[in-house]
Structure 1
Amino acid sequence: MGRLIGVSLGPGDPELITRRGWAALQSGARWAYPVKRAEERSYALDIAVRGGLAVPDDAVELVFPMTRDAVALAKAWARAAARTVELLAEGRDVAFLVEGDASTYATFRHLARAVRELAPEVAVDTIAGVSSFAAAAACADVALAEEDETVAIIPAAYGVGLIDHLIDEFDTLVLMKVKPLVDEILDLLERRGLLATSCFIEKVGSPEERVVHDIARLRGETVNYLSLMLVQNPKRARGELRRGCRKRAASVGPASTGLPTQPITEAG
């Protein structure tokens, strides 16, 4: 059996493909790439093409429909996993192209699990990549976290109730896939006085990249599916931090060892 390799390509800019990812794509492995519908353009494949890589003639598309229909999804996953196992059974590695990072909200982890259910012996290699929110913070000139600040990354679909709660718990919120809730999120941020410390990034790294700091003007606009918001709360009250080393009592005393008790320290 060949290896299943998740090749992270970054969110859109081919210059963010790592050296290891680039090498995997030129290693002779069979390419597989995700599409929403058969014979549709693949965003992940486009990243590789814009980087100057030639698509191999035997590259294979795997269909992962954008639906919440559990039956349709189960059938699609089963087909994709079965096809991948067929390819791996030829003894050749399969490089699955992943936009962003393969370990972060990525189709690849689902595929790897489904493949291993069919063929437990398959080796899986995950090549890390640049996540969309890391690239978004860089292009928007925003720090995700400094010193002791905290960060939470959540799908915006959890709703404004949870977002409102987390604003007080974290210094920075990364809201993924904000398309369906843009106006509701804007209302919340306006109410909390955080419009000025939030920004919107769409299709980061791609030729259609858009960064919006004056996010109030997005109200009523239909944004792209590949979009996120970075929300920062500089007024958040923080708890006390425990710093340095702390002592804890030895678990075994002199009565059982005949040795004097010594304090044990561990990193704080």
Structure 2
Amino acid sequence: MSATPRFGKLIGASLGPGDPGMITRRAWAALQSDARWLYPVKKAEESSYALAIVERGGLAIPADAEQLVFPMTRDPEILGKAWARAAVRTVELLAEGRDLLFLVEGDASTFSTFGHLARVVRELAPQVAVETIPGVSSFAAAAAATGTTLAEEDETFAIIPAAYGVELIDHLLDEFDTLALLKVKPLLDEIIELLARRDLLATSCFIEKVGSPEERVVRDLASLHGSKANYLSLLLVQNPKRQRGELRRGCRSRREAAEVAAGGN
């Protein structure tokens, strides 16, 4: 009877959105450990944005670093097969007993491939230990780069993938003080038109590949209409016409009124 394999640990190492100076000390230590590197690509033998962040930090790529392919498609069959291949290969490597370090751009817990990979790996091998190293998210870095305050005191803030559509974005502009709209490339023109109708262009900002050498910040959103944007782009939108923090204040007022009524009984 063959011995049960001692699985290594699967570690999601958040690297921040582009600037290697945003890599945390914890992630930096993991990169210099004995763990084998895995990194995501959209196509086989394509360059990896996550790997490039580490390279700019001055670390050499280990000879045994291995890529996992996660294609950019909405075809469920193609995606399913790709995810299955990636998970199976990850389990095979973990069964060798060595820890695996999966390189993640941004934060591993926020719109990242790592969460899905870890879940499928645990389905295949429940005994695998998973560790997540948190990092700087793209919207937090974008806010710092542009001097934008995402929220203060009792203000509200929402993070929305732009793919949900302009109708939802339009609604949420009345519900939140600040929106971070991620992956805006496919709907950029429609969002710009919406913001123009809402007279919010002046309080919105476009940021592309934040923290990288190719970082681009555009405050004149009208100038972007009809142009192409990189996949790694986002918009920070603030609605100054909304009474800042009104949702929280409204909830607090209702709670206080209920407490007064209860005290009077």
Same fold (TM > 0.5): yes
Q: Aligned partners of 2:165, 2:42: CA distance in 1, in Å?
A: 25
The residue that corresponds to 1:254 in the other structure is none
CA RMSD of aligned residues (A): 1.7
The residue that corresponds to 1:234 in the other structure is 240
Please, which of 180, 189, 194 is the counterpart of residue 186 of structure 2? 180
The residue that corresponds to 2:81 in the other structure is 75
SS of residue matched to 2:187: helix
> Which stretch of the first structure deviates more once superposed, 230-239 or 196-205?
230-239
Instruction: Return the offset for 1:142.
Output: 0.6
The residue that corresponds to 2:133 in the other structure is 127
In the TM superposition, what are the counterparts of 1:223-262 in structure 2 within 5 Å?
Answer: 223-237=229-243, 238-239=246-247, 240-242=250-252
Deviation per residue, 1:52-90 (Å, 9 max, x gap): 011100001001111111111111111100110011111
Please, which of 163, 183, 196 is the counterpart of residue 169 of structure 2? 163
Q: Does 1:35 align with 2:52?
A: no
Letter in 2 for 1:123: A
Please, which of 161, 186, 201 is the counterpart of residue 207 of structure 2? 201
The residue that corresponds to 1:253 in the other structure is none
Q: Aligned partners of 1:217, 1:165: CA distance in 2, in Å?
A: 25
Q: Aligned partners of 1:135, 1:143: CA distance in 2, in Å?
A: 11
**Structure 2, unaligned stretches of length 5 or more?**
1-6
Instruction: Return the offset for 1:241.
Output: 4.8
The residue that corresponds to 1:11 in the other structure is 17
Q: Aligned partners of 2:209, 2:79: CA distance in 1, in Å?
A: 25
Deviation per residue, 1:138-181 (Å, 9 max, x gap): 00111111111100101101111000000000000110000111
The residue that corresponds to 1:104 in the other structure is 110
Q: Aligned partners of 1:53, 1:152: CA distance in 2, in Å?
A: 35
Question: Taking every aligned residue pair, what percent have the same amino acid on both sides?
Answer: 74
The residue that corresponds to 1:252 in the other structure is none
Q: Aligned partners of 1:35, 1:241: CA distance in 2, in Å?
A: 45
SS of residue matched to 2:155: coil
TM-score, with structure 2 as normaliser: 0.91
Letter in 1 for 2:169: I
Instruction: Return the offset for 1:35.
Output: 0.5
* Structure showing the higher helix proportion among its residues: 2
Q: Does 1:49 align with 2:55?
A: yes
Letter in 2 for 1:196: A
Q: How many residues align?
A: 249
Letter in 1 for 2:188: V
Letter in 2 for 1:104: T
TM-score, with structure 1 as normaliser: 0.90
Which structure would you say has the larger Rg?
Answer: 1
Letter in 1 for 2:46: E
Q: Does 1:146 align with 2:163?
A: no
Q: Aligned partners of 1:219, 1:57: CA distance in 2, in Å?
A: 44
Please, which of 60, 65, 71 is the counterpart of residue 59 of structure 1? 65
SS of residue matched to 1:242: helix
The residue that corresponds to 1:220 in the other structure is 226
Instruction: Return the offset for 1:183.
Output: 1.0
Q: Aligned partners of 1:63, 1:241: CA distance in 2, in Å?
A: 46
